[in-house]
Structure formats: structure tokens, C-alpha cells
Structure 1
């Protein structure tokens, strides 16, 4: 199998907002380091899934569950020379806040994070695969998909243990948070490293070192990643390719195609055709 014959298919739930399923088969393809705005819940079906995340290199054999928190930098490629088959469920944090809160028995649960990246749990695996089945085969009602998503979240919280202690933000966390907010607020502008480091109240090169250590990518790579994610949301809404490319600062469609494919495994046109069928 060549890179061109690797298969990626995105399916959006017709019932649950901001819920998307990816079915992928990869042999000679690898993702660039990137991060999604969503939570991601995946299952390795066949082959081995090798990836960097959280400052560590991971190997996921068949049957393993993979969990990514929002904005968690990772890459991915097949390992061991075999074709990698896997599925991934993406759900936006806004969609899951109430579910996490209910599963925790709290009134609110913003910014809930799951500490484990690789999990061997047959119940969670079953819950993810059932939600994938409901979305990709377009069977069942809205309440069926909502119930399947709730079971997935409830099991994730159960595996995470009792209430996780609140994370007390350090000063670098806070300053880098300012930088991320600035980037997200200026995605359609030609921002510079000076602009972003000033927003973080740090010198340019101190900021660059701190950012790379924290997120595993340069600020430039992060800006491109955020632009591609924003472009994906615009494609979901039916915006034309040319308009999306221009709005988010890509030089031309060819440049947009290359950047998008390194994160989503397909061109923007292919992606838009998937989610509108």
C-alpha cells in the first residue's frame, strides 16, 4: 500500500453537534505534530500505532484505547511495517462539559483532563466502537448516539479515578496561555513571533524556548496548526476552499492542501466531500 492508497474517512454525526468519527488505514503515511481543539478517543484495530504525545513515545497494539485531551500535541504513524487500522472519535469540549460534570457529580467540569494516554480497558473500547458504529452506519436515533457518548465519558471518568485535583497554573502556564489566546484571536492576521511573545510578556527567545518545551512544537508550527483546525471548522460550515485558504493566510490552494493533508490525511476538498455526503 502506498501513501496514496492509505484511506481516511471522516463522518459527522447527524444528531450530536461537533461529534466526528475518523476511520483510517495507514501504511506509508505519517502525521505531522499537531493538536486538535477536541477530545479524541481512539481504538487501534490492527497493526501498531506509534506516536509522540506528552513528551513520550508510545506504541499502541491492537485493542488499545488512545485518549488525547484538547490541545495535546501528538503525531502518528504505523509501526512494525504493517498497515495500521484505527478509529478515532472527536468531540468538542463544549459538547462534553455537561457530560463530564454529570459523570463527576458536579455542577460544572470545565477543562477536565484525562491523565492516561494509552489504556487497556475492554469496556471503554466497546463504548468507543459502539459510538463509531452508530455514527458511521447512521443507525439509531439522536438519543442512541447521545447515550453511547455518555457511556464513553462516564467510563473515561471512572478510569481516571475520583475527582482529579485542580491543576494550579504556574506562571509559565499562565504566560503561555496568554500567547495561545492571542494566536487564536488573530488567526486571520500575519502575526509575528514578536507579537506573540509580547502578548505573553516574555522576551522573544525565552518565549520560543519555553513554548517548544511546553508544547513540543514551535510557535510557527502551532499557528499553522490552529489555522488548519479553524479551516476545518469553516469547511464543516460549507465555506468554499478558496475563501477558507485566503481567510486563514495560506499562500494558495496548493499550500493549503499540503498543510491540511499532513494533519488530516486528505485534501480539504476530499474532507469537505466526506462531511457533506
Structure 2
């Protein structure tokens, strides 16, 4: 396999692999494995069964299942995979238990969405990695639904938890709380938290916090605060991250914004 990228993102391990054909010996994982095949015709052996997974296939393996297979030599192949423990997956989705009954489903749009989210999660930019984590957690819920798993409803929680989280995020902008911190603060699963927040605000919690950071950055810059101090005060990784998000929100850099104020 010509290229393999691998990283940990919160409770998830991510992998993106591409190149020419490759075969894996029979093996097992302690975690759930969820893969999306983007290119190539994979032949899979799973607990004594064999089947084919072409482009657009989503494959799901329960912990401990014996698997093997791959793509023929010199044939192109590109896939992404997520690895997550049973405890982490059930906690993330707010379930007591979970087992995938069907290992293969042809879902091209979901496969592409998973691949895009994994690529974002592997990015060097920490803010983009956070966006990737949020997207992957929502997509894990979609994967579970395609396997006929019934997820907990968030209708009964109302607006209260979202308001409490907004207040908490506003008070902790410099700290940039993790999704685990947010979920623990509200007593919700991460999937339930993200779904409720996006339904009511149209943004993820981190997107909402970022727009509040840029709004407060504008106020500090207007008051004459240097951009470097503003970035530090509001939890940006550095001034370049402030520049990027400020320009995306307001169409100009912090420096140009302050020069325009001075006339």
C-alpha cells in the first residue's frame, strides 16, 4: 500500500489508505472497525464468509470478529477506516449496547461523507481536526441507523441544555472545551449533544464558539488591543488562526480592520 495516514482524534482512531492492491492476513480488532471503500474492488473474508465490497461500500466489523482480504495486486485502492472501542461507541451514541448485524452496505454518499470527514480529522490545523471529529460523530449515528439501530431521541430535552452549553462555552472561550467536556457538563452523549445543538442553532458547538470568538475579537481590536494579545485572550492557537477566522467572518484581516478604524 503506497500511502497510509493514521491519527487519533478524541475517542476515534482514523486511517486513510491508498495506492495499489494489498491483502491483509486474517486478524481481529478489539474495537469496532468502520470502513468506507472509495476505489477498488475489495474481497473480504469475515468469520467464514466471503463477499465483495466495491466503491461506495460501508463495511462494519464488531470487536473480535476475524477478518481478512484486500484488493488484487496492482489494482488501485483507496479506503478510510475508523476504530472505536465498544465503550466509547456506545457512550458516544447514548446506547447501552451495539452490535452490527450486517457487515456490508452500499451507501456511496455516506462513504464519501465519511472519507471527507476523515480527511478533515487528519488535517494539521487543530480547528479543522475538531470540525472533523464533530462530523464523524454525527456520521457514526448515520452508520448506526443504516444498521437499523434505534438512537435515543433528543426531542424531550428541549432548549435548556443548548442554552446552558452556550453560556458555558461563552465563559470558557480561552479554554476551548473538548466534546467530552461538553457532554459531561450536560450529561448527554456526544451524538445527542451535537444533534440537539445543530438542530436549534444551525451550528456545532465549536462553530458557535468560534463565531463568538471572532465577534469578541472584533470588539477587542476596535478597542486598540494588539492582534497577538487578542488571539491569546480568546483561545486562538496563534495570530494566524485569528487572522484566518476573522477574515472568513468579516472579509478583512485584523490588521486591515484596525487600520480602517484609524481612517
So what's the TM-score if we normalise by structure 1?
0.48
Is 1:32 aligned to residue 19 of structure 2? no
Map 1:128-277 → 2, pairs under 5 A: 128-139=114-125, 140-141=127-128, 143-163=130-150
**Displacement, 1:68?**
1.3
**Displacement, 1:55?**
2.5
Mapped to 1, the partners of 2:2 and 2:74 lie a distance apart of 17
Could you say what secondary structure the match of 2:124 adopts? coil
- Equivalent position of 1:42 in the other structure: 35
Could you say what secondary structure the match of 1:72 adopts? coil
- Equivalent position of 1:98 in the other structure: 91
**Displacement, 1:49?**
0.6
- Equivalent position of 2:252 in the other structure: none
> Contact between 1:23 and 1:87, CA under 8 Å: does it hold in 2?
yes
**Runs of 5+ consecutive residues of structure 1 not aligned to the other structure:** 1-5, 102-107, 165-277
Is 1:67 aligned to residue 67 of structure 2? no
| Number of residues of Structure 1 aligned to a counterpart in Structure 2 | 150
Give a deviation string over 1:148-201, Cα, whole Å, max 9, x none.
Answer: 12212110221122549xxxxxxxxxxxxxxxxxxxxxxxxxxxxxxxxxxxxx
CA 1:18/1:121 → structure 2, altered by over 3 Å: closer, same or farther?
A: closer
**Runs of 5+ consecutive residues of structure 2 not aligned to the other structure:** 152-263
Is 1:51 aligned to residue 44 of structure 2? yes
From the CA coordinates, give the structure whose radius of gyration is larger.
Answer: 2
CA 1:51/1:148 → structure 2, altered by over 3 Å: closer, same or farther?
A: same
Give a deviation string over 1:44-94, Cα, whole Å, max 9, x none.
Answer: 222211110133101111121111121111001214862322222222223
Mapped to 1, the partners of 2:77 and 2:132 lie a distance apart of 26
Q: Which has the higher contact order (CA 8 A, sep 6+)?
A: 1
**Displacement, 1:33?**
0.5
- Equivalent position of 1:20 in the other structure: 14
Mapped to 1, the partners of 2:69 and 2:48 lie a distance apart of 14
- Equivalent position of 2:4 in the other structure: 9
Could you say what secondary structure the match of 1:90 adopts? strand
C-alpha RMSD of the superposition: 2.5
CA 1:91/1:8 → structure 2, altered by over 3 Å: closer, same or farther?
A: farther
Could you say what secondary structure the match of 1:148 adopts? helix
